[in-house]
Every structure is written in structure tokens, then in C-alpha cells.
Chain A
Amino acid sequence: DTAVSQTPKYLVTQMGNDKSIKCEQNLGHDTMYWYKQDSKKFLKIMFSYNNKELIINETVPNRFSPKSPDKAHLNLHINSLELGDSAVYFCASSPGPGSYEQYFGPGTRLTVT
């Protein structure tokens, strides 16, 4: 009965490839997020959608493109992968404006070789 799920859990790929990570939440939340956590463990916000509308778009290379087909799903597509993209990517969700607590998926460990 997973609340926030991500696929795949692990992703190993070569430089220059294009890959996607998928996220789904069954909590009925309106807001979803993508975070990047690098080897130093700092959580960096990348994007956020509220009810399918992009509301946070931090300084991220335009090789990263989020897409929210509905409020329960948020996907992340990465073009032309680089070594520096290696990290753990977390999806999270929160109820919506005024409710700030966020619930995280299990993460996707991306390794670019």
C-alpha cells in the first residue's frame, strides 16, 4: 500500500543517453516535487507541480524536463546524461497550499558512467 512510489529504483546508464524516472502518489495530494540528493546528502529542490501546473522551477539544466499528466503522477525526463547527474532523485508529495509536510518516495539512484 505504497504512498509515493518511484520507478526504477536503480538506473545505470552511459553518458549521452536519455532516461526517464516515474513517480506516482496515492495520497490524494495536490502538490508533487522532484529533489536531487548528491553525495554530500544535501536535498536540492528541482521542480514542483500543483495540480498539474508547474509552480517551482529551480535553476536546473534544461536537459531536465518534468511532466505531470495528472495530479497523481510526476515524471522526470533527462536528456544527454552527464557524469554530474549521478545522484539519488526523490519524488515527494504534499497535500497542497497551506499544508507543507512532504512525503517522499523511495528514491531512484542514477549512476552515469
Chain B
Amino acid sequence: QKEVEQNSGPLSVPEGAIASLNCTYSDRGSQSFFWYRQYSGKSPELIMSIYSNGDKEDGRFTAQLNKASQYVSLLIRDSQPSDSATYLCAVNRNNYQLIWGAGTKLIIKP
């Protein structure tokens, strides 16, 4: 079992719809969870962090965390073509290290 698992996609979503990206992790001791966006040919960019169970909203983005189920998700409302990218889930392992998922490729269809 991989430490952080994501569906590689591609996930195709119509413009204006809600995109839902999911991530599961294996280490119950993890405390910090991150979503990064990576456009093709660019570096990963931090878009959301979440530390407590529940929802955290930032503009069109909502991160959801359920530690009991070891599950973290990212919702993107009113999806735009500019949201097309690979989304990486990262979970802390210890004081210094993040464990990365392989990423989900999201395609927003106009």
C-alpha cells in the first residue's frame, strides 16, 4: 500500500461544474495535509493546507479532512479551464518530510 494514494486520472469535468479530487493516506500520526497544483512544465504551487477535521474554504477551493477515515479531498467550485493541471496531495511524515501522492490530472472542458 502506498503511503499517499491518489487516482491518477485524467479527471474530466465540464466548465462551471464542481471538481472533486481525493487522497487517502496510511500514517495515522500525520497532522498536516496539503494540496499543490502543478501546471505542465511548471513547479508545484501550494493552494490549500488543512490541519483539523472538517472543511476549510478559500475562494472556489474547499479542502476536506477526515482523520478517522484517513481521507483528504479538494473541491473546486465553478471549475475554469485555467484549473486544468495536476493536483498533488502531500502529507507530513515527520518534522521535515512530506510524503507525496502521484497526482491527479484534472481537465476542465469548455
Given A101-B34, A104-B44, A105-B43, decide whether A45 and B97 contact each other with a Cβ distance below 8 A. Answer: yes
Given A90-B44, A105-B43, A106-B43, decide whether A100 and B92 contact each other with a Cβ distance below 8 A. Answer: yes
B42 partner residues in chain A, CB cutoff 8 A: 106-107
By beta carbon, the residue of chain A nearest B91 is A100
Asked whether A41 lies within 8 Å of B43 as measured between CB atoms, the reply is no
Q: In the complex, what's the smallest C-beta–C-beta distance from A90 to chain B, in angstroms?
A: 6
Instruction: Report, as a range, how many residues of chain B touch the other chain.
Output: 20 to 34
Instruction: Report, as a range, how many residues of chain A touch the other chain.
Output: 20 to 34
A97's partner among B34, B49, B90, B96 (CB-CB below 8 A) is B96
Q: In the complex, what's the smallest C-beta–C-beta distance from A113 to chain B, in angstroms?
A: 20
Q: In the complex, what's the smallest C-beta–C-beta distance from B5 to chain A, in angstroms?
A: 12
Q: How many A-B residue pairs have CB under 8 A?
A: 48
A103's partner among B46, B90, B92, B96 (CB-CB below 8 A) is B46
A106–B44 Cα gap in the complex (Å)?
Answer: 9
- The reply on B32 being an interface residue by CB < 8 A is yes
A101's partner among B46, B88, B97 (CB-CB below 8 A) is B46
Q: What residues make up the interface of B, taking CB atoms closer than 8 Å to A?
A: 32, 34, 38, 42-46, 49, 86, 88, 90, 92, 95-98, 100, 102-103
Q: What residues make up the interface of A, taking CB atoms closer than 8 Å to B?
A: 31, 40-43, 45, 48, 50, 55-56, 90, 94, 97-98, 100-107
Q: A100-B96, A105-B43 are in contact. List 12 more A-B contacts (CB 8 A).
A: A40-B102, A48-B96, A50-B96, A56-B97, A90-B43, A94-B96, A101-B34, A102-B90, A102-B98, A104-B44, A106-B42, A107-B42
